[in-house]
Chain A
Amino acid sequence: AQSVTQLDSHVSVSEGTPVLLRCNYSSSYSPSLFWYVQHPNKGLQLLLKYTSAATLVKGINGFEAEFKKSETSFHLTKPSAHMSDAAEYFCVVSGGGTSYGKLTFGQGTILTVHP
Chain B
Amino acid sequence: ETGVTQSPTHLIKTRGQQVTLRCSSQSGHNTVSWYQQALGQGPQFIFQYYREEENGRGNFPPRFSGLQFPNYSSELNVNALELDDSALYLCASSLAPRGIASTDTQYFGPGTRLTVL
Residues of A within 8 A of B (CB): 32, 34, 36, 42-46, 49, 90, 94-95, 100-108
Q: With A32-B103, A46-B105 given, is the CB distance from A103 to B110 under 8 Å?
A: no
Given known pairs A105-B43, A108-B42, the reply for A95 and B103 (CB within 8 Å) is: yes
Across the interface, do B103 and A94 meet the contact criterion of CB distance under 8 Å? Answer: yes
* Interface membership of B30, Cβ < 8 A: no
Q: Can you give 29 contacting A-B residue pairs, CB < 8 Å?
A: A32-B103, A36-B108, A43-B90, A43-B110, A44-B90, A44-B92, A44-B108, A46-B105, A49-B105, A90-B42, A90-B43, A94-B103, A100-B56, A101-B31, A101-B33, A101-B50, A101-B55, A101-B56, A101-B101, A101-B102, A101-B103, A102-B33, A102-B48, A103-B43, A103-B45, A103-B92, A103-B103, A104-B45, A105-B44
B residues with a Cβ closer than 8 A to A are: 4, 31, 33, 35, 41-45, 48, 50, 55-56, 58, 90, 92, 101-111
Q: Which residues of B contact A43 (CB under 8 A)?
A: 4, 90, 108-111
Q: Return the chain B residue nearest A45 by Cβ.
A: B108
Task: Report the minimal beta-carbon distance from B44 to chain A, rounded to whole angstroms.
Answer: 7
Instruction: Considering the complex, give the chain A residue whose CB is closest to the CB of B109.
Output: A43
CA distance A106 to B40 in the complex (A): 11
Partner of B107, one of A46, A102, A108: A46
